[in-house]
Chain A
Amino acid sequence: MPLPMLPVPMRIRRRVKETADTFTIELEPPDGTFAFEPGQFNMLYVFGVGEVPISISGDVSRRDVLVHTIRDVGTVTHALGRLKKGDWVGVRGPYGRGWPMKIAKGRDVILAAGGIGLAPLRPAIREVLDNRDDYGRVVVFYGARTPGDLLYPKEVVKWRARLDAKVSVTVDRADRTWHGNVGVITQLVSAARTDASRTVAMVCGPEIMMHYMRIHLAKLGIADEAIYVSMERNMKCAIGRCGHCQYGGDFICKDGPVFTFAEVESRFRIRSL
């Protein structure tokens, strides 16, 4: 039996700079295949530095490569950012309960990401767009701080060009090059035009963003049971035994990270939980 805390070293095949503080690494699974579900995450380990939870951002249909998009915010993510092609990263995973892809089949889907929140949501967006016929109306909202902070810009342009999906992007602060929406992501919501009773919403961003998104989605008539959010807490083990990711009675690492808003609603109102 493999030991649950032992990482598997994987080599970096490619490294892409996304924005000033964000980069994407593509890893080679040693046996050539790595299966996961949208919304799941891995524990990424840098030799001698530490280990952090990072969502899987690639395509579920591409099993030969493992894609992670990471924002440099501290010790471990900074060390990850300094690694080059050919360097090794320790990987444990995939972990957690991801986005409700099965439940979303046949329904209208709203996918809303704030900032780095697009990284965990990207596999779900791709899954929906690649199997477009399986879904009703598809709406993608994406908000970033500035135009320079937008992730996967080329890919987002392709999404926007599609006639079978509504993709809206907004930035908090624009610069001279920006011709799109300016303002918070929630202002986009009223234009969703989905059938509320058969809509599934997947929301990923800072807690405050998810909180306001839910208020706006509720205004459209979407029930808390159909709004999914991805939660974040400190994580050391990802297998339910270090205790760090507790969120009331749930371990975010194994009971989440994705929850329905109905599941977390009462906890959202408890400060510092």
Chain B
Amino acid sequence: MKKIASIILSLFLASSISLAAQSDSLENAADLEKYREVNDFVDENESCFKCHAETKYVLVDEFFGTEFVNSLCPDKMVTRDEYYSMVHKSFACLDCHAYDYEEFPHPLSARLEEPYQCIDCHGYDENYAHFQFEDIEMEYMESVHAEQVENFSCWKCHDPHSYQLTVRDDGATIKEAIAYNNDICLSCHSDFSRFELLTDREEIDILDTHDWLPNQAAHFGSVRCIECHTSLSDSTLVAHHVQPSELAVKKCSECHSKNSILMASLYKHEAKESRRKYGFINGVILNEAYVIGANRNTTLSFIGILLFLLTMGGISIHIVARIIFKK
């Protein structure tokens, strides 16, 4: 009897649980107004954000008026600020996610839906031709990640809810772009909890494996991982062919020389812009960083060599005179 009563009670409870969520972090509605400027689906998205932007979500039992507070896994969180400033800021959650996600608990049907890939929307689209999605796709398919790691995809590096353009963005400095780019790689390569989700390999300590590189802090702040780890690409602005580490750049002079590979990778965008604006590329590399060997100033070198030749000439004449006059 007792058993039957509890079953009935629990059935009753289940049907009366409704959803609510705390909105602590949404300090004021003014923020929402700001988001409306870039997105037409702000209110719809709130139905997801009320849980997914919070560290906790609340389930209310309407019958008894009790609340159950649960915490949301951090990796299921999406922050509004990042979301509304990323490349797809104008999107509704349901543009990418199945409609079934409106239900909670989210049904299996929603979870089983294959996510869209970049190429599904961007491939062979004139509006995005300058990004060369098709070439990037091909480069990616040959990369170590695509070949060696199951379940890898463009989304693993391009976070679906925060990815921004930085290298191409003239508003961001090169240093900021470098930091943003390297954080993408380090999100796995210096966070073993994410890394181990994808592979059985031992932890790779980036500081250890790169101890041959002097001034590590200066280097990692001034070059991107992909400078050394991808093969140079002609068509794409950001090379995507991440190669096995045996093929990575290890020779200092690849960067520290007049024909620095950095001109074809890190500084490619700046080089193009400055060629467009001023017709030459010399100024770019000089103002952004001090790359020994690559910052060769041609005027200075010329004056130097000239002075050197003049001195040698003067000394030679003096020597000849000394020989003639036996001094």
B partners with A: no
Residues of A within 8 A of B (CB): none
Residues of B within 8 A of A (CB): none
